[in-house]
Amino acid sequence: MKFKTVLGLALACASLAFTVAAPAQTYKSEYKMSLVVGPAFPWGKGGEIWANLVRERTQGRINIKLYPGVSLIQGDQTREFSAIRQGVIDMAVGSTINWSPQVKELNVFSLPFLMPDFAAADALTQGDVGKEIFKVIDKAGVVPLAWGENGYREISNSKLAIKKPADMKGLKIRVVGSPLFLDTFTALGANPTQMSFADAQPALATGAVDGQENPLSIYTAAKLHNSAQKHITMWGYVNDPLIFVVNKEVWASWTEADRTIVRQAAIDAGKQEIAIARKGLIEADKPLLKDIAALGTTITQLTPEERAEFVKATRPVYDKWKNQIGASLVTTAEKSIAARKK
């Protein structure tokens, strides 16, 4: 009888030990994080911070390796969301622009001249629009955790200082492979050319394209002043939020405690990344502009009247895409911006 009792206890303990250990056995030795750019850029730095926080807080249970240049999918950044959903990519800090071909609601952030300032961008990502977007992404099969920011996309070119829509006529401008971007630049009279960021740099240097639009942090880190980009116009037509996400199967494989750690680490990394992305632009004297001007770049600041001409020229695109994105979501965005704290 004693033997049976001891044996029963031993089996129970073994069963319990297996139950506790089982989740750990489902963990991969390495999780692949996709990024368009590396840690030299605020965007890539955000991914690095997230990976480090997760590694530290899980005591190495979750080890993340960064794959910049969207190298897991041969540099095709518009395929990234599908690759996360399919499990080719475990985690990512991705651009709403790059994922918009698969998630049409993300185009709300690319509506020309919707967000006039950083407070407007925050009103969307941290408000009802952000919550709705996270629901859509989750329904699409990817787990969204936190917001980051690539920044306001300013336009640069090798030819002239752009002050009015007519100045853009015929300019070959590199854009992301998004139909909304093609419509916007076509409306402005430019010749939009789709290509990945990796392909854009040599194309700018050789003059195959005349210009590009990106946050100034991208301009400086990629040293685009050395790629003939001698003119920048500050028009703030689009802000590019980033989203920290995890593949659903990977997410389900972690314990509840580790999921909580990963989510909080993403939120913390996102806040740090946004601060890095805005550094030099939120201060009254905007020191980043002085640094760029010192490189020999001409910076054009539009007057409200000049900016209004660009708004007017792109309004038909805005109206067309409002319906495609979903008029209700865009109206919510407009109301959130109108009510923002400046």
pLDDT in tens, 21-61: 444 448 999 999 999 999 999 999 999 999 999 999 999 99
Q: Tokens 């992404």 sit at which residue?
A: 137
Instruction: Report the alpha-carbon distance of residue 96 to residue 81 in Å, rounded.
Output: 10
Judged against a pLDDT cut of 50, whether residue 1 lies above it is answered with no
Instruction: Report the alpha-carbon distance of residue 286 to residue 106 in Å, rounded.
Output: 29
Q: Tokens 């490189």 sit at which residue?
A: 295
Judged against a pLDDT cut of 90, whether residue 176 lies above it is answered with no
Pure H helices in 237-303: 248-253, 256-278, 287-293
Angle, vertex CA 334, rays to CA 332 and CA 337, nearest 5: 105
Tell me the per-residue pLDDT of 269-318, one tens digit each, with 9 for 90 and over. 999 999 999 999 999 999 999 999 999 999 999 999 999 999 999 999 99
CB 64 within 8 A of CB 33: yes
Q: Collapsing DSSP states into helix, strand and coil, what is residue 162?
A: coil
Judged against a pLDDT cut of 60, whether residue 4 lies above it is answered with no
pLDDT computed for residue 76 by the predictor: 85
Instruction: Report the alpha-carbon distance of residue 266 to residue 184 in Å, rounded.
Output: 32
CB atoms within 10 A of CB 132: 18
The 8-class DSSP code of residue 113 comes to: T
- Torsion, Cα 80 85 87 92, to 10 degrees, reads 50
With bands split at pLDDT 50, 70 and 90, how would you rate the model's confidence at 266?
very high
Q: What are phi and psi of 15, to 5 degrees?
A: -65, -45
CB 198 within 8 A of CB 75: yes
Tell me the per-residue pLDDT of 70-116, one tens digit each, with 9 for 90 and over. 899 988 888 999 999 999 999 999 999 999 999 999 999 999 999 99
Q: Which CATH number fits domain 28-150+240-278: 3.30.530.20, 3.40.190.170, 3.40.1280.10, 3.30.565.10?
A: 3.40.190.170
Domain boundaries, the chain: 28-150+240-278, 154-238+285-338
CB atoms within 10 A of CB 298: 13
pLDDT computed for residue 9 by the predictor: 47
Element spanning 8, H or E = helix 2-25
Q: Which CATH number fits domain 154-238+285-338: 3.30.450.20, 3.40.190.170, 3.40.1350.10, 2.60.40.770?
A: 3.40.190.170
Mean pLDDT of the chain: 92
With bands split at pLDDT 50, 70 and 90, how would you rate the model's confidence at 147?
very high
In single-letter form, the type of residue at position 341 comes to K
Instruction: Report the alpha-carbon distance of residue 115 to residue 148 in Å, rounded.
Output: 16
Judge whether 28-150+240-278 and 154-238+285-338 match in fold.
Answer: yes
Instruction: Report the alpha-carbon distance of residue 266 to residue 145 in Å, rounded.
Output: 6
Instruction: Report the alpha-carbon distance of residue 230 to residue 299 in Å, rounded.
Output: 9
